[in-house]
């Protein structure tokens, strides 16, 4: 198992290197830079001044020099400052990561709380009204986009209840109740969407497992239905579900721009998109690398969890 | 423009696809009728709104205290007024900082178009007879905010001198301040500014919302002004958390004793339009901007007591910019042909729901009292496709030509607007326009570099109030802000003459001539734009917007006079 983990970690190095090259290259291919975004509109900045400012920011260096400097900064865990705001990138991340983490965790929990029971119910009561209802809910979750659902939720909450989540992010430690008010609705919107895929996967894998011989044996032994489904069937049906949930978590941690925008939450999604729009190279590059590293780690954790779920699985 | 776009004035609501198609459908029918009757001048039809365009100052005695909150689309990218003219910054920089001179506040103004200048840090100002030397007498006893590193020391003339020199040295205001040849401070409260050329409009330039006075200590300590915004204004910046909130707290040492009235002004970063409306509905925001009457009516259903001011724009920030220094657009006949081949009224009727106007670049309040009618815009602003075809043929393009246009979608209707222009040019002149939609940074980079060929959906900055800025700065061939690439000796001469003409009446005459010349030569091909509405909670007093100074944008200094009646 240790060998397996080390091998996977070593394999992650070329993946991350390739990601760094792609993000660095793509950012440089895009026209304009942070200074253009910031100052050009005024029309007051001459080309000579722009060149001077670019030099001050190191944007006039050759691309390979810029890449190597940045790579060294990443390796030494010192990603530098935003060229747009001058804010150290770790400070910006420290502000946005907890927001995204909280939103992702809540959304995932809500998603699972909705998806797994309904998925199991759909499977055990196949082709009954409760199955159809569950499937309709799942299809709705897959087909309703975040921006539509989020906008609808916030608009009708304001009209019907004269209430919307308080605007202006407050951390959980500052005010737990206000923080929860801010996060529950966006997490529910995200969770509903996530639950759709999980629900469908749970239903189909539970259905499959329920037809296995060992489940038939469990029934034949006269075990209680709840024990057969939840102890014998569900655990074995969870491997594909865990794979899906792992992927969803990766996507969530990369930031959910639309929901963050609608509910005015200052998470990773807004940070990254704004940085892309303003060509804030170091911020974009660092965020993308962070997401890449997170996805690699999550994939590894998901793979490792298979052995816990199914003791027959061995790592070599 | 993204949440923190430093750009033209307004942010609009999204028009629903179904709604748009309905309007285009109507417009299509209308267009058929109008093509049949082409050649007749049409007046700009504006839907009348039940809301006033001016809210006079409250007659009640102002109350102190309370918190004013606004959900804002804009987020300040950084706090350095040398490096950005973003509305994100100036939605509050005008409250933390003062200028030498300012425009009238709503509680002093006679109406939205009142452009009278008042002293801000300067108590009085006068020019030499040749208008090359301007002397400003500063208020005594004005204190910087009582925060490090200045700790409430007195503002003196040397501070203003230092600040203007810094603006001239680098950054977005360099062109404006390089007009200054030198400055003297004969005593602590007198600043004498020597200009390179005469300019009677110089006080207007230093009254612009972006020309705020910052302290030398912060620049010297930090090397820039990106993180700390300290001034002499009515509010002290208490918190600035990007993408979350800006909190301004009352400055107890403000020179205008008794003001401001509101204890705290909180700006909540709210990039989504629906959320801003929801925030207003639920009382989390006290001011909201709406682009259409239908939107206002929807809000009034849940908030019937909301107070509405119709905001009538006095200029349009967007137009068709042509590479008029190159063929085929250097031919006046081609420019005129294009201009009269575009059905602007259709854009007003369809995209702006009849609530828009045909478009002009210099604020009309500088040359006439009422918005120009279609007829007043002159022959080259009328929709005359047959004449257009003839003109283009005379210019040697009977079969049209191929060209390109690039744009950034400032608001959803803009894409439809560009497409309508494309359709008009194809149908009426057989000009094939290839459209390229760009992201914000790419668009700016390409547009202001002024090396592009073909056409661009051009803009003029939204912050400027002054006449000098709107004429000389934006149209003189030597100006770096001349994005439309105007190169016309008559405009150069007139805009220079305007700077040397102190008499208001004469200024209006010259401005009129500039505008007539611009329209006649089709130097900047303005496109329709619309009006909007500011909606206030019923207890907000004295927050009316003034021409080119929206309370929620560059007109933020108005907040110093706002009070809450609750």
| More confident call, A256 vs B391 | B391
Measure CB to CB from residue B278 to each of A38, A53, A155 and give the nearest one. A155
Residue-wise pLDDT tens digits, B532-543: 899 999 999 999
How high is the pLDDT of residue B22?
40
How high is the pLDDT of residue A38?
66
How high is the pLDDT of residue A60?
81
How high is the pLDDT of residue A255?
65
Phi-psi category of residue B454: left, alpha or beta, with phi > 0 → left and psi -120 to 50 → alpha = left
Residue-wise pLDDT tens digits, A45-100: 566 667 777 777 777 888 888 899 889 988 898 888 888 778 899 999 999 999 99
Model confidence at B453, pLDDT cuts 50, 70, 90, reads very high
Measure CB to CB from residue B243 to each of A33, A45, A270 and give the nearest one. A270
Measure CB to CB from residue A41 to each of B71, B85, B482 and give the nearest one. B85
How high is the pLDDT of residue A271?
92
Residue B237 pLDDT greater than 90, yes or no: yes
Looking at the complex, does the CB of residue B245 fall below 8 Å from at least one CB of chain A? yes
Return the residue in A174, A264, A273, A274 with the most chain B beta carbons within 10 A, the one to mutate for interface testing.
Answer: A264
Residue B25 pLDDT greater than 80, yes or no: no
Copy the structure tokens of residue A163: 């209430």
Cis before residue B260, ω within 30 degrees of 0?
Answer: yes
Euclidean distance between CA atoms B377 and B387, whole angstroms = 17
Residue-wise pLDDT tens digits, B381-395: 999 999 999 999 999
pTM: 0.86
User: Mean pLDDT, to the nearest integer, of A177-200?
Assistant: 93
Angstroms from B448 CA to nearest CA on chain A = 7
Copy the structure tokens of residue B116: 């009278």
- Measured between beta carbons, the chain A residues lying within 8 angstroms of B480 are 43-46
Lowest mean pLDDT among B17-31, B129-143, B187-201: B17-31
How high is the pLDDT of residue B560?
96
- Measured between beta carbons, the chain B residues lying within 8 angstroms of A38 are 6, 77-78, 83-84
Euclidean distance between CA atoms A238 and B161, whole angstroms = 71
How high is the pLDDT of residue A49?
67
- Measured between beta carbons, the chain B residues lying within 8 angstroms of A103 are none
Q: Which of residues 207-266 of A touch B (CB under 8 A)?
A: 261-264, 266
Euclidean distance between CA atoms B105 and A149, whole angstroms = 42
Measure CB to CB from residue B445 to each of A40, A154, A166 and give the nearest one. A40
Residue-wise pLDDT tens digits, B356-377: 899 999 999 999 999 999 999 9
Q: How far is CA B130 from CA B440, B466, B502, in A?
A: 43, 20, 10
Closest alpha carbon within chain B to A167: B268
**H/E stretch holding B497:** helix B489-498
Euclidean distance between CA atoms A133 and A139, whole angstroms = 10
Answer yes or no: do B439 and A169 touch at CB < 8 A: no
| More confident call, A315 vs B460 | B460
Q: Please calculate the CA angle B282-B293-B268 and round it to the nearest 5 degrees.
A: 35
Residue A21 pLDDT greater than 80, yes or no: yes
Query: Is the Cβ–Cβ distance between A92 and A283 less than 8 Å?
Result: yes
Looking at the complex, does the CB of residue A299 fall below 8 Å from at least one CB of chain B? no
Angstroms from A36 CA to nearest CA on chain B = 6
Residue B226 pLDDT greater than 70, yes or no: yes
- Measured between beta carbons, the chain A residues lying within 8 angstroms of B85 are 41-42
Return mean pLDDT, chain B.
89
Q: Which residues contact B544 (CB under 8 A, 6 or more apart)?
A: B54, B55, B56, B106, B112, B309, B534, B551, B558
Residue B39 pLDDT greater than 70, yes or no: no
User: Mean pLDDT, to the nearest integer, of B19-42?
Assistant: 35
Residue A41 pLDDT greater than 80, yes or no: no
String of DSSP letters for B393-415:
HHTT-TT--EEEEEEE-SSHHHH
Closest alpha carbon within chain B to A166: B284
Measure CB to CB from residue A277 to each of B269, B278, B439 and give the nearest one. B439
- How large is the C-alpha radius of gyration of chain B? 24
**How many Cβ atoms are within 10 Å of A11's Cβ, its own excluded?**
11
Looking at the complex, does the CB of residue A86 fall below 8 Å from at least one CB of chain B? yes
User: Mean pLDDT, to the nearest integer, of A206-235?
Assistant: 88
Model confidence at B43, pLDDT cuts 50, 70, 90, reads very low
How high is the pLDDT of residue A40?
52
User: Mean pLDDT, to the nearest integer, of A194-200?
Assistant: 89
Model confidence at A268, pLDDT cuts 50, 70, 90, reads very high
Measure CB to CB from residue B481 to each of A44, A85, A168 and give the nearest one. A44
User: Mean pLDDT, to the nearest integer, of B319-337?
Assistant: 96
**Quick one: what percent of chain A has pLDDT higher than 90?**
40
Residue B26 pLDDT greater than 50, yes or no: no
How high is the pLDDT of residue B35?
31
Looking at the complex, does the CB of residue A31 fall below 8 Å from at least one CB of chain B? yes
**How many Cβ atoms are within 10 Å of B481's Cβ, its own excluded?**
21
Residue B276 pLDDT greater than 60, yes or no: yes
ipTM higher than threshold 0.90: no
Provide the terminal-to-terminal Cα distance of chain B, rounded to the nearest Å: 35
- Measured between beta carbons, the chain B residues lying within 8 angstroms of A278 are 77, 441
Query: Is the Cβ–Cβ distance between B548 and B315 less than 8 Å?
Result: yes
Model confidence at B486, pLDDT cuts 50, 70, 90, reads very high
- Among residues B201, B527, B136, B536, the alpha carbon closest in space to that of B358 is found at B527
Looking at the complex, does the CB of residue B287 fall below 8 Å from at least one CB of chain A? no
- Measured between beta carbons, the chain B residues lying within 8 angstroms of A169 are 241, 244
Phi-psi category of residue B178: left, alpha or beta, with phi > 0 → left and psi -120 to 50 → alpha = alpha
Answer yes or no: do A36 and B241 touch at CB < 8 A: no
Q: How far is CA A275 from CA A37, A253, B159, in A?
A: 11, 17, 35
Residue B28 pLDDT greater than 60, yes or no: no
**H/E stretch holding B184:** strand B180-187
Q: How far is CA A201 from CA A115, A198, A242, A243, A309, in A?
A: 9, 5, 10, 10, 16
User: Mean pLDDT, to the nearest integer, of B93-108?
Assistant: 96
Answer yes or no: do B272 and A53 touch at CB < 8 A: no
Return the residue in A26, A27, A37, A160 with the most chain B beta carbons within 10 A, the one to mutate for interface testing.
Answer: A37
Cis before residue B328, ω within 30 degrees of 0?
Answer: yes
Angstroms from B505 CA to nearest CA on chain A = 30
How high is the pLDDT of residue B433?
97
Lowest mean pLDDT among A8-17, A97-106, B401-410: A8-17
Euclidean distance between CA atoms B162 and B165, whole angstroms = 5
- Measured between beta carbons, the chain B residues lying within 8 angstroms of A261 are 271-272
Residue B46 pLDDT greater than 90, yes or no: no
DSSP, collapsed to helix, strand or coil, labels residue A34 as helix
Angstroms from A76 CA to nearest CA on chain B = 26
Answer yes or no: do B175 and A44 touch at CB < 8 A: yes
Query: Is the Cβ–Cβ distance between B318 and B558 less than 8 Å?
Result: no
Looking at the complex, does the CB of residue B306 fall below 8 Å from at least one CB of chain A? no
Angle, to 10 degrees, between the axis of helix A63-75 and the axis of helix A281-309? 50
Euclidean distance between CA atoms B83 and A45, whole angstroms = 10
How high is the pLDDT of residue A305?
83
- Measured between beta carbons, the chain B residues lying within 8 angstroms of A264 are 71, 268-272, 275
- Among residues A161, A169, A254, A250, the alpha carbon closest in space to that of B239 is found at A169
Return the residue in A38, A41, A260 with the most chain B beta carbons within 10 A, the one to mutate for interface testing.
Answer: A41
Question: Which of A134-143, B143-152, B462-471 is most confident?
Answer: B143-152
Angstroms from B125 CA to nearest CA on chain A = 26
């Amino acid at each position: 198992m240790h060998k397996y983990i080390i091998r996977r970690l070593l394999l992650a190095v070329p993946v991350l290197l390739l990601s760094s090259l792609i993000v660095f290259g793509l950012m440089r291919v895009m026209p304009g830079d942070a200074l253009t975004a910031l100052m050009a509109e005024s029309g007051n900045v001459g080309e000579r001044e722009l060149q001077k400012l670019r030099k001050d920011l190191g944007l006039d260096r050759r691309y390979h020099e810029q890449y190597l400097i940045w790579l060294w900064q990443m390796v030494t865990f010192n990603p530098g400052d935003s060229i747009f705001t001058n804010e150290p990138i770790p400070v910006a991340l420290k502000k946005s990561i907890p927001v995204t983490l909280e939103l992702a965790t809540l959304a995932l929990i809500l998603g699972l709380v909705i998806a797994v029971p309904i998925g199991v119910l759909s499977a055990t009561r196949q082709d009954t009204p409760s199955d159809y209802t569950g499937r309709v809910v799942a299809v709705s979750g897959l087909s309703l986009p975040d921006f539509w659902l989020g906008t609808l939720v916030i608009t009708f909450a304001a009209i019907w209840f004269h209430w919307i989540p308080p605007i202006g992010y407050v951390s959980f430690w500052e005010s737990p109740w206000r923080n929860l008010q801010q996060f529950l609705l966006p997490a529910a919107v995200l969770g509903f969407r996530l639950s759709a895929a999980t629900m469908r996967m749970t239903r189909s894998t539970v259905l499959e497992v329920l037809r296995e011989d060992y489940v038939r044996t469990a029934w034949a032994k006269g075990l209680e239905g709840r024990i057969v489904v939840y102890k014998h069937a569900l655990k074995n049906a969870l491997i594909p579900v865990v794979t899906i949930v792992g992927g969803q978590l990766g996507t969530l941690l990369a930031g959910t721009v639309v929901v963050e925008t609608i509910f005015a939450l200052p998470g990773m999604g807004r940070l990254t998109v704004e940085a892309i729009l303003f060509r804030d190279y170091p911020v974009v590059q660092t965020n993308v690398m962070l997401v890449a590293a997170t996805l690699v780690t999550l994939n590894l954790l998901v793979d490792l969890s298979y052995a816990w779920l199914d003791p027959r699985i061995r790592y070599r | 423009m993204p949440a923190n776009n430093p750009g033209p004035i307004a942010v609009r609501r999204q028009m629903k696809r179904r709604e748009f198609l309905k309007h285009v459908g109507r417009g299509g029918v209308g267009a058929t009728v109008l093509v049949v009757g082409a050649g007749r001048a049409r007046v700009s039809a504006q839907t009348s709104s039940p809301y006033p365009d001016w809210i006079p100052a409250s007659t009640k005695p102002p109350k102190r205290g309370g918190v004013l909150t606004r959900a804002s689309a804009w987020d300040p990218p950084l706090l350095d007024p040398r490096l950005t003219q973003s509305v994100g910054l100036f939605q509050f920089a005008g409250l933390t900082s003062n200028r030498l001179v300012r425009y009238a506040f709503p509680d002093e103004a006679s109406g939205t178009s009142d452009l009278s200048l008042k002293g801000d840090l300067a108590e009085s100002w006068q020019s030499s007879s040749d208008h090359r030397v301007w002397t400003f007498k500063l208020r005594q006893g004005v204190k910087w905010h009582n925060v490090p590193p200045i700790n409430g020391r007195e503002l003196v003339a040397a501070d203003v001198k230092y600040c203007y020199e810094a603006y001239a040295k680098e950054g977005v205001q360099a062109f404006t301040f390089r007009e200054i040849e030198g400055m003297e401070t004969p005593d602590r409260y007198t600043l004498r500014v020597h200009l390179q050329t005469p300019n009677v409009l110089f006080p207007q330039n230093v009254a612009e919302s972006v020309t705020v006075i910052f302290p030398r200590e912060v620049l010297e300590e930090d090397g820039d002004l990106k993180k700390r915004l300290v001034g002499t204004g009515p509010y002290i910046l208490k918190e600035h958390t990007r993408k979350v909130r800006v909190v301004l707290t009352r400055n107890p040492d403000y020179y205008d004793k008794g003001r401001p009235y509101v204890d705290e002004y909180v700006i909540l970063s709210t990039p989504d339009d629906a959320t801003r409306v929801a925030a207003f509905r639920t009382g989390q925001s006290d001011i909201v901007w709406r682009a259409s009457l239908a939107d206002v009516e929807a809000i009034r259903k849940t908030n019937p007591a909301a107070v509405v001011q119709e905001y009538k724009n006095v200029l349009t920030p967007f137009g068709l910019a042509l590479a008029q220094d190159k063929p085929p657009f250097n031919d006046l006949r081609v420019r005129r042909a294009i201009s009269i081949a575009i059905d602007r009224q259709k854009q007003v009727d369809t995209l702006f729901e009849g609530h828009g106007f045909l478009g002009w670049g210099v604020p009309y309040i500088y040359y006439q009292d009422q918005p120009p009618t279609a007829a007043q815009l002159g022959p080259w602003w009328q929709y005359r496709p047959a004449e257009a075809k003839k003109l283009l043929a005379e210019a040697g393009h009977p079969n049209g030509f191929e060209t390109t246009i690039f744009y950034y979608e400032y608001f959803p209707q803009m894409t439809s607007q560009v497409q309508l222009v494309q359709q008009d040019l194809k149908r009426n002149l057989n000009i094939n326009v290839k459209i390229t939609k760009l992201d914000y940074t790419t668009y700016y980079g390409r547009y202001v570099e002024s090396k592009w060929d073909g056409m661009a959906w051009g803009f003029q900055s939204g912050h400027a109030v002054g006449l000098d800025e709107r004429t000389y700065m934006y149209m003189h061939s030597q100006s770096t802000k001349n994005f439309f690439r105007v190169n016309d000796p008559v405009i150069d001469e007139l805009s220079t003459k305007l700077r040397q003409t102190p008499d208001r009446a004469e200024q209006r005459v010259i401005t009129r001539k500039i505008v007539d010349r611009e329209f006649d030569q089709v130097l900047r091909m303005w496109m329709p734009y619309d009006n909007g509405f500011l909606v206030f909670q019923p207890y907000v007093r004295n927050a009316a917007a003034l021409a080119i100074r929206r309370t929620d944008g560059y007109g933020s200094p108005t907040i110093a006079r706002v009070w809450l009646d609750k």
